[in-house]
């Protein structure tokens, strides 16, 4: 998670130019007295040397997702990069197999995440893959090692150069998808609950977005401590899943006031609250704390409204931003903590300790990432849309495996989708018209029935008159 340097692909391009300069320098002209055969031999040798150089440096290509500007889902584009990335001392080259998609990536696309450099830049804070090359001074990694990577950005691509200290060996039996799903969510949840929260038996915890990556990680980690009560907010359709995963009290935040629901069950309040929302929800969280309770705020998800930056949502969030005087903290016997994994990129030892503990828990079967779905790099826009619309349960994964041609053909084009929508709308309109016509016919029949009755009555009267005559 160094990331203070330029993006890997930009730095590699500079290194590559420096390397190729000597090769591009023209050779010293041969003396005029040199024989023709010698000159011919030299001329023949030159193209061969050039040919050897091209495959190694210039012919190397890899695909990368690039944020080209701030805005909608279409701002993240799949591009082909040329030139093999160069390694510095202490770095490794990883052939990426899978990448994790995080909520911070959605905010970064809108320009709301300050730890991502300005576009054009390759996003991605976590991935898994195989070590393909090792730089000088690297002693604890070798070619062929299966690793997971945690970095500030630059991992949504087929190859990535990162410091060896940002890699962690994948345990036996863990898939590349699980390995890509673990670093960001589990390190975040672990450090909040145990380093800040000091979670202990018989305590209560509120986990917002309990069906998301951090939410599921936090719930699983709570289960490693005896008799912890977990309150989890999620839409009603996700309640069964999160309850099975360890949430004690599932709350539908869309139809109910979660503060009232918590108070009904725990009138005194809660011991730990994990707040990724920001704004007015942070005020609610603070007021829900018991004495000696801890509020850990780690995001501003309320700022995200729509696929492009919503200035009203941003302004509203900042207007309602939580602030408190130290005297109030003293009198309330409460604490407020702030957590941001992106600003811990220099704390290698701290993160390594957390990762080692999490990997031990995985080996013991106490934690296991839940994969919602896996998407090809070409489908990153659809994957982002699903996460932003809160339709995922667990982790969203991007795979670097090329998308099969059959799937590409099967995927309807945007124009086709529009046409299908038009057809569906037309069918609905036609059905409405048919229903309206049927109703009109029924009304006409109802109107005609009294007339028929009147006609029959008149006919009867006529017959009676005839008989009387």
Residue-by-residue DSSP string for 275-308: E-S-THHHHHHHHTEEEEEEEEE---GGG--SSS
Q: Grade residue 216 by pLDDT with cuts at 50, 70 and 90.
A: very high
**Are 247 and 224 a contacting pair, CB within 8 Å?**
no
Q: Grade residue 313 by pLDDT with cuts at 50, 70 and 90.
A: confident
pLDDT reading at 55 higher than 90: no
pLDDT score, position 456: 67
pLDDT reading at 433 higher than 90: no
Query: In this prediction, what percent of the chain has a pLDDT beyond 70?
Result: 73
pLDDT digits (tens, 9 = 90+) for 257-280: 999 999 999 999 999 999 999 999
Strands ordered across the beta sheet of 270-275: 249-251, 229-233, 204-207, 270-275, 289-297, 335-338
Query: Where do the DSSP E strands lie in 75-145?
Result: 76-82, 91-101, 126-134
**Cα distances (Å, whole numbers) of residue 68 to 74, 102, 123:** 9, 18, 11
* Alpha-carbon gap, residue 355 to 334, rounded angstroms: 29
CATH topology of domain 185-368: Rossmann fold (3.40.50)
pLDDT reading at 68 higher than 80: yes
**What backbone torsions phi and psi does residue 373 show, to the nearest 5 degrees?**
-165, 160
**Are 117 and 126 a contacting pair, CB within 8 Å?**
no
**Are 373 and 397 a contacting pair, CB within 8 Å?**
yes
pLDDT score, position 163: 97
| Helix or strand holding residue 336 (H, E) | strand 335-338
Residues of the chain with CATH 3.90.180.10: 61-181
Q: Grade residue 467 by pLDDT with cuts at 50, 70 and 90.
A: low
**Are 107 and 101 a contacting pair, CB within 8 Å?**
no
Average per-residue pLDDT in the chain? Answer: 84
Taking residues 225-246, report their average pLDDT. 97
Using DSSP's 3-state secondary structure scheme, residue 25 falls into coil
Q: Grade residue 430 by pLDDT with cuts at 50, 70 and 90.
A: low
Q: What is the pTM of this model?
A: 0.76
**Cα distances (Å, whole numbers) of residue 89 to 139, 213, 270, 285:** 11, 34, 48, 46
How would you classify the pairing of strands 126-134 and 204-207? Answer: unpaired
* Alpha-carbon gap, residue 192 to 194, rounded angstroms: 6
Which distant-in-sequence residues (6+ apart) come within 8 Å of 247 by Cβ? 207, 210, 219, 230, 231, 232
**What backbone torsions phi and psi does residue 149 show, to the nearest 5 degrees?**
-125, 140
Residues of the chain with CATH 3.40.50.720: 185-368
Give the homologous superfamily in CATH for domain 61-181. Answer: Medium-chain alcohol dehydrogenases, catalytic domain (3.90.180.10)
Tell me the torsion sign for CA atoms 213, 216, 220, 223.
Answer: positive
Residue keyed to tokens 């959605």: 106
Which distant-in-sequence residues (6+ apart) come within 8 Å of 467 by Cβ? none
Taking residues 21-31, report their average pLDDT. 38
């Amino acid at each position: 998670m160094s990331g203070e340097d330029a993006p890997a692909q930009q730095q590699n391009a500079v290194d590559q130019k420096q390397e190729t300069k000597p090769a591009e320098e023209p050779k010293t002209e041969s003396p005029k007295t040199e024989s023709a055969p010698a000159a011919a031999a030299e001329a023949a040798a030159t193209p061969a040397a050039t040919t050897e150089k091209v495959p190694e440096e210039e012919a190397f290509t890899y695909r990368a997702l690039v944020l080209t500007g701030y805005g909608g889902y279409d701002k993240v584009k799949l591009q082909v990069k040329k030139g093999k990335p160069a390694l510095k001392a202490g770095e490794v080259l990883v052939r990426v197999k899978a990448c994790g998609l995080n909520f911070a990536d959605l905010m970064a696309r809108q320009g709301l995440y300050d730890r991502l450099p300005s576009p054009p830049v390759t996003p991605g804070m976590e991935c898994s893959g195989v070590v393909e090359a090792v730089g000088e001074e690297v002693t604890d990694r070798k070619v062929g090692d299966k690793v997971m990577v945690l970095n500030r950005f630059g991992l949504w691509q087929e190859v990535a150069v990162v410091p060896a200290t940002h890699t962690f060996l994948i345990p036996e039996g863990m898939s590349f998808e699980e390995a890509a799903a673990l670093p960001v969510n589990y390190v975040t949840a672990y450090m909040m609950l145990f380093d800040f929260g000091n979670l202990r038996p018989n305590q209560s915890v509120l986990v917002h977005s309990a069906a998301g990556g951090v939410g599921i990680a936090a719930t699983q980690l709570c289960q490693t401590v005896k008799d912890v009560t977990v309150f989890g907010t999620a839409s009603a359709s996700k309640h069964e899943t999160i309850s099975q995963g360890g949430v004690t009290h599932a709350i539908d935040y869309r139809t109910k006031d979660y503060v009232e629901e918590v108070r009904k069950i725990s009138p005194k309040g809660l011991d730990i609250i994990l707040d990724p929302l920001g704004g007015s929800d942070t005020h609610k969280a603070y007021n829900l704390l018991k004495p000696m309770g801890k509020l850990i705020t780690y995001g501003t998800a309320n700022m995200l409204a729509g696929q492009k930056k919503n200035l009203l949502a941003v302004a509203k969030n900042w207007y309602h931003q939580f602030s408190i005087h130290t005297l109030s903290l003293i009198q309330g016997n409460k604490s407020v903590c702030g957590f941001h994994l992106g600003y811990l990129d220099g704390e290698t030892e701290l993160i390594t300790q957390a990762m080692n503990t999490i990997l031990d828990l995985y080996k013991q079967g106490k934690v296991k990432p839940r994969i919602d779905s896996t998407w090809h790099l070409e489908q990153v826009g659809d994957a982002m849309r699903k996460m932003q619309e809160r339709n995922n349960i667990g982790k969203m994964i991007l795979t670097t495996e090329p998308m099969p041609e059959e799937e590409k053909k099967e995927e309807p084009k945007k124009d086709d989708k529009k046409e299908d929508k038009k057809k569906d709308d037309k069918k609905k309109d036609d059905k409405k018209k048919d229903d309206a016509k049927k109703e009109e016919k029924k009304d006409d029949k109802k109107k005609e029935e009294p007339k028929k009755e009147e006609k029959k009555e008149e006919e009867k009267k006529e017959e009676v008159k005839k008989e009387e005559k």
